[in-house]
A and B are shown apart, each in its own frame.
Chain A
Amino acid sequence: MSRSQSSQRSGVMNSASDGQKRRSIIAEDHEWSLALVPLLTTLCLQHIIKHFEEKPILHELQPSFKTYVLQRLPASLPLTITANLISDESYWKRCCEARWGLADISTYDNSWKQMFFERHLQSIIELFIPDTTDTKTVLDVLPLCQNYVKQLRVSQLLPPIKEPSRFDEDDGSESASDMGSDGPSMDHFDFRMLLDKLPNLKELSVVYCVKGCGMNFEWNLFEFTFRDCESLAKALNSCKTLQVFRIHRSKVDDEKCCVIVNHLLDHPSLQELDFSHNHISDRGARAIAKLLNRSQLKTLIVCNNQIRGAGAQALAHALAKNNTLTSLNLRLNRIADEGGQALAQALIKNKTLVNLHLGGNNMTEPAAVALSQALVENCALKSLNLCNNRLGADGGKVLEEGMTHNCTLVECDIRLTDVDQDSEYSICQALHANQIKTKHNHDPSAKV
């Protein structure tokens, strides 16, 4: 720097027709030329970069200088300065790469800034330990990132640290955690302070568990207390922009499900609800069925729960009247024949449902009969999954018959259902015919 400054100065002197000095400098350094001398503008820009933290000057610069500065700004600048000042994607790309290495931007609306803030907020929440971490850490970040966060995928929530004695006690009681009465100390991060401050939030995924606990496994690390549930439900209610809500592997039982669903009733924008891998049974299913017709839900996923026939009947009742839901996933439940029959009857009336997943539901021939009838009547369903149900050869034949009258179904999964090869083949043929038909229907529209 000093060298360049000196040469700069000498250059300036040169222009001031100080020939002798110039000659002496050339004699000293053969490699020096005027091209090596950095321009004053670059020096200024370098100075701006160096002192960006104290005095952020960016928008006052000309476009070319602006890009120059943005290319050279260090990624370690505090967010308080950069968050609302810099919108350049390349800078945030550098930030993301510096922090997390490789990343797939496509899941973040192709916006590096969004990705940065979402992951930043995510990590803060994931590392938040109630009662020990100051809530200010979250609240400080919020004003910076509230405009850019659209999705929040929390993959773990840490429980508060507690005394070993309690820890031992809890270790012993297995079912006590279900009650959620372990006291306030077991509550996780409270979403209420977060959700109503994020105006653009559209997607929220929550998992009430601890990742990578390894040998420190304790049952109470995987707790979803009732108070957590209430706070989460209220937070959800306060966030009116939310479109997608997912809660996986969080031991949501009927009671908590009811609480959450009650708070989600008449939500203005919610479109997708995902209760996968929880403990919801008939009562919770009934609550969800109530929600179905009091919301804009398009997708409902309750796979791997414990819904039985009664819950399925309740869902079917709701489905018969519903006209928004397009996708229903009941994989790995125990709805059995009664639930299957009820859903099949609901399908006769329903005109909107496109995807239905009933895999692994312990259904048998009567359900197949009912479904084949539904297939004859229904003209909206396009994908049906019946794998892992013991439909049997007769059920397969019935389905085959039903498929011959259907012209909309494009996919039908009947693996591991003990169906005959022949009927499977014929069903496949019918599906193929339907596929070609839909393709032909689509192509002209696509061309138009």
Chain B
Amino acid sequence: MHQTEAFAAGEEAEELRPSVESDKKEERILARRLRLAARKEAQTKQRLGEDDLGKEDVKEETRKSQKEVEHRERRMAKLKSDGLELVTNIQVAADARESDRRTELEEGHRLRREKLENEAKSSQEKFEEINRKWTDAKMKQTPLDLRDALSSQQQLCEQIIADKNKLISELQQELKASDDRYVKDLKRQAKDIDLLVERMEEQISTLKKSYREDLHQIENSLDEERRTLLTKHKKKWEHERKDRNEKELKNMMQSLSVMEEYADLLQKLRVQTAEEYNIDKIRMDTEVQKLRMKVQQTKFNCHMNEEKLDYKYEVLKKKEEENAIIKSQLKRKIIRMQDVLNNLKSKLTKQEKQSKAGNQSLSNDYTRISQQYKDMQKKARHFAALDAERLEKLWLMCEDEAKALTHRALETDRVIHEQQLGLEWASPPLPFMERSGAVQQKTFRTATQAAADTLKGEPEGGLDEDTAAGLNKRTVKSILELLCDEMGFLVESKLLMLLSPLEKNEQSLIKLDAIFSAIGIESEKDVYKMAEFFMNYRQHESKYTKDETANGQGESAEELSNLIHTEDLLAALKDFTAQFCRQDVHASHKSSILGLDMRDDSEDAAYWESIANVMPESKLKLWDALDTALNKYHAVLTERTELLMETQNIQQQNSELRQLLHLYTTSKAQ
């Protein structure tokens, strides 16, 4: 029992590490496999992370290495299980032996027990027999019998003892055998253990070897893989590098060219700027010089100005002094003047008094003189009539004289023409020859007459056609009516009262007369001017009425009244009076004051002029030219006579001189 234990213990101890129980081995394999898988995965992941492009190839290659790894793994697992079996075979064999031994032991136990039981039974029987015999022996009386009995008893006992001894010896022998067996078992177990150790070592060595080999193989495969990958990547790298180099070269060339371009550009720019700079510099220099000159000039000017100013200052000072003197003089003068003024004032008062008195006397004189003036007027009229008579007489006399003169002039002209010039003479027109006497006096119609005419209607035409060419009678009439309707305030209310019983036409006529007198219109011209002004004014004021004025010439009075607004009429009238009437007023007043002589002298002058100018200007010029020519002719003739005289003298002198020369030449030749 103990030996088995010891063996088992040893075995267990040996078994503990290298040859683990089956489940543990499984676990180990599993763990290894997991580790490998994890490593592989990590590798692949790393590779995947390194380059996604070579993904496919990497996968393929890893599959190769994976295959290799798996193959190795499988082989190792087989090797291990084989080795494990080999090693555990010993254990199993020992177990088998042990179990055999146990069964044997059990069997031996059983047999022994049986034997012992048998033996015990037989010995019991024998013992009982002995016991029985003891009672027999007690019965025995005789010593011989007793001795026999005792001896038989002894024999029996010896037999039992012998049996027992036999048994004991048998058992001892068994014990010895089992001891021997134990020793043998021990030896065998020792051998087994040796074998086990040997096998284990062998196993370890083989495993080590194969592991190494495997490792080598796997490493090789991985190396190869890595190498291929490396070469591939290198190639790729080279390719990429080359590409890059080329690109860089290209870029460099490009940049160089660009650089050159820029350098050229820079050079150009530099030159340009340098030129510009030079130009600028020169310009600036010239400017500087100019400016310097200017500065010099200005300095000089300044100096001059300073001197001038100094001088002027001096002058001013002197002037001031003079001014002061003049001021004082003026003051004195003012005082004097004041005195004079006072004197004058007093004089003035005196004068006023005197003038008042004079005025009085003068007014007296005036009355006297006006009386005289009236008388004088009477006389003047008288003299005027006389004068007119005398004028007529004078006129006729002068006319005759003038006519005679013209006759004479014409006669001379004719003589000049015919005799001197040899031209045919044509007498100029002489209209005034038929006329005789003073110029007919043309009288002007007054405004009121014209107004009355117009108001009366259109019985007499033609006479006024030329004066109011642009204006139709009807429009003028309508304007006049409008005036007399609107301008009632110009007429005195008393007059209006007086007029009320009169006829309408007359009424308006008188009204117009009053209005005209108020405005200051006297002649018919003025009336037409006014009408024209109104028309123009209306055209000025409102353009929209233009077409209506165009066709309004032959239209009714209502339309014309529309042409001039009643409100505008007053303003128009005001403007008209302001523009036209003022200067005429004074003139007409004068003439009206003078009044008596209505004769116009303007045509007289023309009349006389025409008489005077019966010889036209050209003819006068001709006469002038003829005169000068004749004069010149006369002069030439006179000069000729003189020259004739001179030539006679010179011819005389010449003959004298020739005589002299002849003398001299003869003398000299001698």
Contact A383 B8, beta carbon cutoff 8 Å:
no
For the complex, is A442 an interface residue (Cβ under 8 Å from B)?
yes
Assess whether A22 is interfacial by the CB under 8 Å rule. Answer: no
A385-438: which residues lie under 8 A (CB-CB) from chain B?
A: 385, 387-388, 410-411, 413, 415-416
| Interface positions of A from 109 to 163, Cβ below 8 Å from B | none
Report whether B37 and A387 are in contact in the complex, using a CB–CB cutoff of 8 Å: no
Whole-angstrom CA separation of A382 from B21 in the bound complex = 13
For chain A, residues 320 to 365, give those with C-beta under 8 angstroms from any C-beta of chain B.
Answer: 327, 331-332, 334, 354-355, 357, 359-360, 362
Chain A residues within an 8 Å CB radius of B415: none
Q: Which 5 A-B pairs have the closest CB atoms?
A: A360-B95, A360-B99, A355-B23, A446-B34, A411-B22
Known: A387-B92, A416-B93. A332 touches B99 (CB 8 A): yes
Q: Which residues of A contact B103 (CB under 8 A)?
A: 362
How many chain B residues touch the partner (CB < 8 A)? 26
Mark B1-32 against chain A: 1 for CB-CB distance below 8 A, else 0. Answer: 00011001100100000000111001000100
Contact A360–B26 (Cβ < 8 Å): no
* B38 / chain A contacts, CB cutoff of 8 Å: 446
Contact of B33 among A410, A416, A439 (CB under 8 A): A439
By beta carbon, the residue of chain B nearest A446 is B34
Interface residues of A (CB under 8 A from B): 248-249, 276-277, 303-304, 327, 331-332, 334, 354-355, 357, 359-360, 362, 382-383, 385, 387-388, 410-411, 413, 415-416, 439, 442-443, 446-447
Instruction: Report B34 CB to chain A, min CB distance, Å.
Output: 5
Cβ A277 vs Cβ B9 within 8 A: yes
> Are A446 and B23 CB-contacts (below 8 A) given A360-B96, A387-B95, A416-B93?
no
A382 touches B26 (CB 8 A): yes
B532 at the interface (CB under 8 A from A): no
- Across the interface, do A383 and B22 meet the contact criterion of CB distance under 8 Å? yes
B41 CB–A CB distance under 8 Å:
yes
A249 close to B5 (CB less than 8 A): yes
Nearest CB on A from B500, distance (A): 141
Instruction: Find chain A residues with CB under 8 A from B88 CB.
Output: 413, 415
B166 at the interface (CB under 8 A from A): no
B96 A446 Cβ-Cβ under 8 A: no
Q: Smallest Cβ distance from A134 to chain B, in angstroms?
A: 32
Answer yes or no: B102 CB below 8 A from chain A CBs: yes
Contact of B8 among A304, A357, A385, A415 (CB under 8 A): A304
Closest partner residue, chain B, to A303 (CB atom) = B8
Complex Cα gap A388–B102 (Å): 13
The answer for the CA separation of A249 and B96 in the assembled complex, in Å, is: 20
11 examples of A-B residue contacts, CB within 8 angstroms: A248-B12, A277-B5, A327-B23, A331-B95, A359-B95, A360-B99, A382-B26, A411-B26, A416-B93, A446-B33, A446-B37
Chain A nearest CB: distance from B100 CB in Å? 9
Nearest residue (CB) in A for B102 is A334
> Interface of B with A (CB < 8 Å)?
4-5, 8-9, 12, 21-23, 26, 30, 33-34, 37-38, 41, 85, 88-89, 92-93, 95-96, 98-99, 102-103
**Interface contact B92-A447, CB-CB below 8 Å:** no
Q: CB < 8 Å: which of B4, B12, B26, B30 contacts A276?
A: B12
Instruction: Give which listed residue, B8, B26, B96, contacts A388 with CB less than 8 A.
Output: B96
**Residues of chain B within 8 A of A277, CB atoms compared:** 5, 8-9, 12
Contacts of A387 in B (CB 8 A): 92, 95
* B470 nearest CB across to chain A (Å): 125
Which listed residue, A303, A383, A415, touches B89 by the CB 8 Å rule? A415
Q: How far is the CB of A155 from chain B (nearest CB, A)?
A: 10
Chain A residues with CB under 8 A of B95: 331-332, 359-360, 387-388
Bound Cα distance A332, B9 (Å): 13
In whole angstroms, how far apart are the Cα atoms of A249 and B38 in the complex? Answer: 43
B99 contacts A383, C-beta separation under 8 Å: no
| A303 CB contacts on chain B under 8 angstroms | 8
Question: Which of B22, B26, B41, B98 is A332 in contact with, Cβ under 8 Å?
Answer: B98
Contact partner of A385 (CB less than 8 A), chosen from B22, B41, B93, is: B22
- Can you add 6 more A-B contacts, CB < 8 Å, to A360-B99, A388-B92? A276-B8, A304-B4, A359-B95, A387-B92, A413-B92, A415-B85
Residue in chain B with minimal CB distance to A334: B102
Nearest CB of chain A from residue B2's CB, rounded to whole Å: 8
Distance in Å: Cβ of A135 to nearest Cβ of chain B: 29
Compute how far the CA of A173 lies from the CA of B391 in the bound complex, rounded to whole angstroms.
222
Beta-carbon contact of B92 and A416 below 8 Å: yes
B23 in contact with A354 (CB, 8 Å): yes
Rounded to whole angstroms, the CA-CA distance of A360 and B96 in the bound complex is 7
Q: Nearest Cβ distance between residue B490 and chain A, in whole angstroms?
A: 132
B26 touches A410 (CB 8 A): yes
Residue of A nearest to B106 (CB): A334
Bound complex: CA A112 to CA B664 (Å): 185
From B8, B9, B12, B99, residue with most partner A Cβ within 10 Å? B99
B102 near A413: Cβ-Cβ < 8 Å: no
A442 and B30 contact, CB distance less than 8 A:
yes
Docked CA distance A304–B92 (Å): 13
The smallest C-beta distance from B587 to any residue of chain A, in angstroms, reads: 138
Q: How far is the CA of A248 from the CA of B6 in the complex (A)?
A: 11
Bound complex: CA A411 to CA B95 (Å): 19
Q: Within the assembled complex, what's the spacing in Å between the Cα atoms of A387 and B92?
A: 7
Separation of A382 and B22 alpha carbons in the complex (Å): 10
Q: Which residues of A contact B8 (CB under 8 A)?
A: 276-277, 303-304, 332
Tell me if B4 and A383 are in contact (CB < 8 A).
no
Could you say which residues of chain A place their CB within 8 Å of the CB of B99? 332, 360, 362, 388
Query: B26 and A359: CB pair below 8 A?
Result: no
Expressed in whole angstroms, the Cα–Cα distance for A439 and B34 within the complex equals 10
> Which residues of chain B come closer than 8 Å to A388, judged between CB atoms?
92, 95-96, 99
Give every chain B residue within 8 A of A276 (Cβ-Cβ).
Answer: 8, 12
Inter-chain CA distance A162–B34, complex, in Å, is 58
Given the complex of chains A and B, what is the CA–CA distance between A410 and B88 in angstroms? 18
Q: Taking CB as reference atom, which chain B residue is nearest A304?
A: B8
Residues of B within 8 A of A359 (CB): 92, 95
Q: Enumerate chain B residues within 8 angstroms of A355, measured Cβ to Cβ.
A: 21-23
> Nearest Cβ in chain B — how far from A273, in angstroms?
16
Q: Are A383 and B34 in contact (CB under 8 A)?
A: no
How many Å lie between the Cα of A387 and that of B89 in the bound state?
10
State the Cβ distance, B475 to closest chain A Cβ, in Å: 126
Please indicate the chain B residues that have their CB under 8 angstroms from the CB of A354 in the complex: 23
Nearest CB in chain A: distance from B11 CB, A = 10
Give Cα A362–Cα B9 distance, bound, in whole angstroms. Answer: 21
CB distance from A244 to the nearest CB of B (A): 14
Instruction: Assess the B5–A304 pair: CB atoms within 8 A.
Output: yes
Neighbouring B residues of A249 by C-beta, 8 Å: 5, 9
Q: Are B33 and A360 in contact (CB under 8 A)?
A: no
* Cα–Cα distance between A201 and B4 once the two chains are bound (Å): 32
Q: Given A362-B103, A388-B95, A388-B96, are A447 and B37 also a contact pair (CB < 8 Å)?
A: yes
Bound Cα distance A111, B99 (Å)? 42
CA distance A415 to B345 in the complex (A): 181
